[in-house]
Structure 1
Amino acid sequence: MDWAHTITPEIPVATILQQCTLENLPQLSEDVYSVDHISADGSTANAECMWGVFEVECRPVRNGVRYALTSCPNAFQWTITSRHGETVVHGSINQMSPDPEFAESIEEFLRHFCSGLEQPPHPPTA
């Protein structure tokens, strides 16, 4: 199943690449409580979120970034991309008919993430 949110005007790709990092994930989403054990290249870590603790990765993709909870049994991933005047936040899991409460929690997570993206950029943490 998948979900999508659109943000207009679009967030520049350079801003997405700068702000959408594992280190910034808790500032982007109130549903991510902490991120630790970030790899030297910044691409993998452990994240504590509304569903538990998972291995998470963050990789650049064309026009944006993809996050994936790689140890999640539902294979939850979300992608942030900008083009044609809009930014799309697209999330998906590996089930076509998830439990309605779980589906709503994903919708809520993505809404909160979009709200975080629309805030002024956070300065890099030291």
Structure 2
Amino acid sequence: MMDGTSTHLYVPTSQEEREVCLGPDGSVAHVTRVIRMIHGRWKLPILFRLYADPSMRTLQLKRDLPGISQKMLTQHLRELAVDGLVERIDFREKPLRVEYQLSEMGRQLLPVLIAARRFSTSHPA
């Protein structure tokens, strides 16, 4: 079984070790899932903007993220919502009023992103 001393160069030798790392429910699958959830040019900027404000309307997000198109903002917000990182709150008002906020799962992702930043700054390119 893999322990805390293993590195990225570790090659699992037994079937059990391979399953822990490479199996359908293994480490690789779970890390890949998280990377897929945040992959996209605007997903991280959206998430970090929502970390700063608890709830935001689409127009406010668009204003705070210069260069993002309405189409991309809508697409990324939908994907983040499907993945459970943000919640869409429809106030069922006319004119339409919708806000986005981080879900509990989205808030739990913040320490992971901070750790990634810390890793990057301590290992410059």
TM over 0.5: no
Q: Which has the higher contact order (CA 8 A, sep 6+)?
A: 1
Structure ranking higher in helix proportion: 2
CA radius of gyration, larger in: 2
| TM-score for both structures, normalised by structure 2 | 0.27
Structure ranking higher in strand proportion: 1
| TM-score for both structures, normalised by structure 1 | 0.27
